[in-house]
Amino acid sequence: MPQNSFHALRPLPGSSDQYYALTALTEAGLPAVTRLPVSLRIILESLLRNEDGQQVTRAHIEALAHWQPNEARTEEIPFKVARVILQDFTGVPLLADLAAMRSTAQRLGYNPQAIEPLVPVQLVVDHSVQVDFFNTPTALQDNMALEFQRNQERYRFMKWGMQAFKTFHVVPPGIGIVHQVNLEYLARGVQHKGTVAYPDTLVGTDSHTTMINGIGVVGWGVGGIEAEAAMLGQPLYFLTPDVVGVHLTGRLPAGVTATDLVLTLTEMLRKAKVVGKFVEFFGAGAASLSLPDRATLANMAPEYGATMGFFPVDDETLRYFRATGRSEEEISALETYWKAQGLYGMPQLGDCAYSATLSLDLEQVEASIAGPRRPQDRVPLNRIKPTFEALLQAPIAAGGYGKSEPLHDLHPEGHPEITLKDGSVLLAAITSCTNTSNPGVLLAAGLLAQKAVARGLKVAPWIKTSLAPGSRVVTDYLQRAGLQDALDALGFRLVGYGCTTCIGNTGPLPAPIEAFIAEQPLIGCAVLSGNRNFEARIHPNLRANFLMSPPLVVAFALAGRITIDFAHEPLGQDTEGQAVYLQDLWPSTSEVARALENLSPEDYRRRYADFTQDHPLWNGIAAPTGTTYAWEPSTYIAEPPFFADFSLTVTPPTSIRGAYALAFFGDSITTDHISPAGSIKPSSPAGRYLQAQGIVPEDFNSYGSRRGHHEIMMRGTFANVRLRNLLLPGTEGGVSRHIPSGEAGSLYEVAMRYQAEGISTLIFAGEEYGTGSSRDWAAKGTRLLGVRAVVAQSFERIHRSNLVGMGVLPCQFLPGHDLNTLELNGDEIFDLETGTGPLQPQQRVSLTIHRRDGSQTTCPLLLRIDTPVEVDYYRHGGILPFVLRQLLTSA
């Protein structure tokens, strides 16, 4: 029951509602609350409202109210969110876990309905559509037909979940991308429970959940296992964060886009090491940004490493809610609430206390792209040609391609009309919530296309082009502005409403290109308006991937190569033989402003009124019923093994002895490396497994779509074709070495061999281990392969948490220690001792290295179990058994 020990529940001025007033804390003698960053004050309100004396106590409230910008972060925040949002690649395995919990409860004689989400859960199906068809009038319909053919079993399972759980709702395929749908429709700004008004807050099982920070909603990405705990009534525990204020001044220059700004900030904030911190934007420059521009910056928080990229609520927020069709009643409630809390308006310099303050003058932002492998590797547009040419010849160890001479004038056999070289653009995609949520940059792309078509320019037919908006409203305003026809003429036809290329659902390239680049050492390029460009994510055989704004995607597609100096080299020639330069096509600020007049709030109201209307593919799926799932035979959905030996009695884990290294990795190992989402090779362990089940390669679908089946995902863990395991120098792909025998094989097969022998394994890595998407399977697969601990120089926030949540120890080298200084070669045997007493957050543990020559070395490590509740999760074998034991013992 709520305790309300600060007497904070009060009438909301100007409303019939009540609210938990932060001023109650000031009245109680905590004046520093008024100087807290806005994001922390919103979390503080949640603590006030959820104070129950058990999970949330007065001490928790006082600790956060006493937050200081630069103090040791030892206090734990139990944050209860208003809702949880999922995408289908992470949502399906989460639903499978919930179904397995119910099955386990039933087997143990408990009521399976004890497993029930206590907050609203919304799953948006956006990751499943692939671009098999493109540049045809029926590409959208054809891709959706294939999507439903491939994913019938998954969609049946989702529909079962909709009827089995009271608070579980699904936004069907073909509606949009989760974060854009969230921004345009699902987000409420202010929620209500009875007569109590409170902020909309959430966590989501996709790292780009942070897009919602653009409208003043506190929320971020977590792994599915943490999301399950939040759904089932557990607070989300995290250490009190540092909050970095980013003071924006000035205005963006004409012709510079929000994409250019976010790539600049991604580079800047990565260098500032904001991993695991809150970032809060403020100042006159922040106030000058449109809401879609703010959402673009918030969306990319995972790329600059922050937990959030937050913008407070102000007049621009209200304008956006009105422009996207929200009711006047809702907008009035939003304004009333935030003004009553004293949190309305953009803070200025000095208003809030921050752990650090960084500054950026928007006037200094220049046109940029990022690549070829990481979002933070920004390249000014005017430097891309010499930068790429230098990368071609730079050593592989230095991030280059190690070529003595660039390839050029290549022709696939039988296709003399196709001329390729290193740097040829082979894929051009307007994709991703990051940019398709922003009408300004999409309309700019359409205007550029319109001018190019008027001059007679064309895109080479062997370049795979696509347009995949994050919302059906995009189609409405592009058509009303008269720009879709020009995009169509250049090949940027509508292929689907979903993540597509950004998530790796690129589909095959044109047949002559696909076959040619699979056999040649050609450095082909992808250009996309996405947020991730990690190795092999976009397409396994495209080795250079560049992020950029939608109009630049069109421009590079017209040029056909990444090695162009736009200031001095033309995109092509018009019908009269005149050179056409990028500056001739780039739309002016006034042209974009006129095009923006084609947006209508009615489009949003109409598009989001009914998801099932005119949707025969979704409506035609019959689903099983019942409170428990029957686990019918499937290669998409299987009961996960995490509760196979479940008992209400806890068996704490022990120290690790006699372990071997399963892999040595370098820096920036991403969750794409660990748990790929793209295509499944027939020769891979997962491909061989599927063929043994009678599935032919053309029906493999993707790793992401098969995350509901652990047998496939175990075999897909560490299966990225560009992964480099230093236990086998000079190799690429998911391979390892069985150290006792010296025999090499697939990493999965080696891991299974160790398990059969009863031998524990460890993973060793460099900096930024687990960067990227919030894929719980990156941790689940690691656990199922028998890995007991990951030892790295540093971890990305979500993956570290996911490892703990699956009962895998994350341990960090202390400064001065790494694979090189320890002179490890892979032949060693390891003991990882956690001590004899109870584990403590961030304690020291010791790694003892037994070498072949009989010598041994002991290396201290930092245990990256960061909070007391994470100690409990690890002691229980992970967060899932911890939560299930709590639910069943209290049922």
| CB of 410 closer than 8 Å to CB of 522 | yes
Q: Cite the DSSP H helix spans in 51-138.
A: 58-65, 88-107
Given this model, what pLDDT does residue 890 score? 85
Q: Which domains are delineated in the chain?
A: 9-67 (no CATH), 83-364 (3.30.499.10), 368-599 (3.30.499.10), 655-673+760-874 (3.20.19.10)
List the beta bridge partners of residue 860.
Answer: 846
**Closest Cα partner for 197 from 24, 60, 57, 334?**
334
Q: What is the DSSP string of 278-314?
A: EEEEESHHHHHS-HHHHHHHHHTHHHHT-SEEE----
Task: Look up the pTM and report it.
Answer: 0.91
Walking along the chain (891 residues) 10 residues at a time, the average pLDDT comes out as 91 96 96 94 97 92 96 91 94 94 96 94 95 97 96 95 96 96 95 96 95 98 88 89 98 96 97 95 98 97 95 98 96 97 97 98 98 95 97 93 94 95 98 94 98 98 97 97 98 97 93 92 96 89 96 98 97 96 97 96 96 92 94 94 92 93 95 87 96 94 91 94 92 95 96 98 96 84 97 91 94 93 94 91 96 95 92 93 92 71
Rounded-to-integer distance, Cα 860 and Cα 846, Å:
5
> In whole angstroms, what is the distance from residue 887 CA to residue 105 CA?
9
Q: How many angstroms separate the CA atoms of 110 and 247, rounded?
A: 54
Nearest by Cα to 703 from 670, 681, 682, 677: 677
**What string of DSSP letters covers 179-235?**
HHHIIIII--SEEEETTEEEE-EEEESSGGGGGGGGGT-EEEE--HHHHHHHHTT--
Q: What is the pLDDT of residue 863?
A: 97
Residue 704, pLDDT score: 86
Q: What's the one-letter identity of residue 175? A: I
CA–CA distance, 5 with 19 (Å, rounded to integer) = 14
pLDDT of 97: 94
Query: 334 phi and psi, to 5 degrees?
Result: -60, -50
pLDDT on residue 652: 86
